[in-house]
Amino acid sequence: MIGLMYKDFKVMIDRFKPANIIAILVVSLFFILLMRGSGATFIAIILPLVVASTPVILQTSDEKSGWDKYVWAAPISKKGIIWSRYLFCLGLIAGTGLLTIIVNILTQIVFQDLPLKLHLIISIVGLLISVLYLLLLLPAVYAYGTSGNTIVSFILIAAVMFFLYAINITNLGDKFIRFVKYLLNIDIKIVCLAIGFMYMVILLFSFQLSLRVYTKKFKR
């Protein structure tokens, strides 16, 4: 699996040249200097979400090079092939999330226009949203190729629009607010355990779905 993860790493390095990375860092720094704490929290949401689209880049490279057909014939288990992609993408998001947390802490120390707690909460929320998006995206990419990104994005946007519409025409908004207040009164350790368990279930379901789609796809 390490070799497969290194291959994905090389693909990303080839895709994002040092000049591109420097440009992203400069734009992010300018955004923070312009909007201060709000800019840092915005980056904490957007940057991990952008990194979560990594499977699309990797799948595009695999399709162009015929990598899937080659690795299918190699003496590597199908689970190993799928796990390597999951571990690489999750590691990339985790690293990005850690970077955004550090940036938000430094921004709060320098500007002090937003509470540190708010910076940390938004950074963690951004990380959780990105991981969820990744776990939905990976099976879709294995099933539909690069079009999977469009499908998942459409489903998520439709779900958000339906949720907002439901809030406007029902009392769901009040119930949601009461639910959030209820969560805030629960011990943070219990909340973390519940979130961890939920994401573990989603991860296992996503992996099994990807494995089934991948195996079926290349048995044709």
Residue 220 scores a pLDDT above 60:
no
Q: How many domains does the chain have?
A: 1
Widest pairwise Cα distance in the chain: 58
Check residue 71 and give its pLDDT. 75
Comparing CA positions, the residue from 99, 88, 94 lying closest to residue 58 is 88
pLDDT in tens, 168-188: 676 666 776 777 677 778 788
What domain range includes position 185?
Answer: 2-217
Segment 59-79 mean pLDDT: 80
User: How many beta carbons lie within 10 A of that of residue 118, not counting itself?
Assistant: 13
Contact predicate 98/124, CB 8 Å:
no
Confidence band, pLDDT 50/70/90 cuts, at residue 159: confident
Comparing CA positions, the residue from 207, 209, 183 lying closest to residue 195 is 183
pLDDT in tens, 106-149: 999 999 888 998 899 899 999 999 999 999 999 999 988 888 88
pLDDT in tens, 30-54: 888 888 888 999 999 999 999 999 9
Contact predicate 134/52, CB 8 Å:
yes
Half-sphere exposure of 102 (CA within 13 A, CB side): 6
Segment 152-162 mean pLDDT: 83
Confidence band, pLDDT 50/70/90 cuts, at residue 83: very high
Give me 115's structure tokens: 């509470």
